[in-house]
Amino acid sequence: MNELTLKPLAVRIPKEIEKEILELVEREKLDKATVVRTLLEIGIVEWRKRTALGLLRDGKVTFAKAAEIAKLSLWEFADLVKQRNIEWVRYTPEEIEREAREAAAA
């Protein structure tokens, strides 16, 4: 793992979340700070994926830009799009026919 510079972060959390964290501390036999860092990392990774998928689905970014936002390769992002059943190519039947005719004529 890369050498990280750790910065302190103070945050107030609901009791329910603290309970979940403490359960993970017990189960994983890790200190609380390590558990919270791990959960933050997982959350950020998932947030990036969801954000990228949403922007792609809404047509606000290109496929390549969405992959970049998700911090995934194009192939990894393609797999994610497939896994989550994200519809991002929106062609009408007429557009598909026109594209096919133009491709056949070329």
pLDDT digits (tens, 9 = 90+) for 5-27: 999 999 999 999 999 999 999 99
**According to the model, what pLDDT value does residue 89 have?**
79
Is 1 part of any domain?
A: no
Is 60 part of any domain?
A: yes
Is 10 part of any domain?
A: no
Which residue segment(s) compose the domain that 40 sits in? 15-105
Is 6 part of any domain?
A: no
Is 72 part of any domain?
A: yes
Domain count of the chain? Answer: 1
pLDDT tens digits along 51-99: 999 999 998 999 999 999 999 999 999 999 999 999 887 777 787 788 7
* Whole-angstrom distance, CA of residue 53 vs CA of residue 63: 9
Is 25 part of any domain?
A: yes
**pTM assigned to the model:** 0.76
Query: Which position has the token pair 């510079």?
Result: 5
Alpha helices in 32-92 (DSSP H): 32-57, 63-70, 74-83
Is 2 part of any domain?
A: no
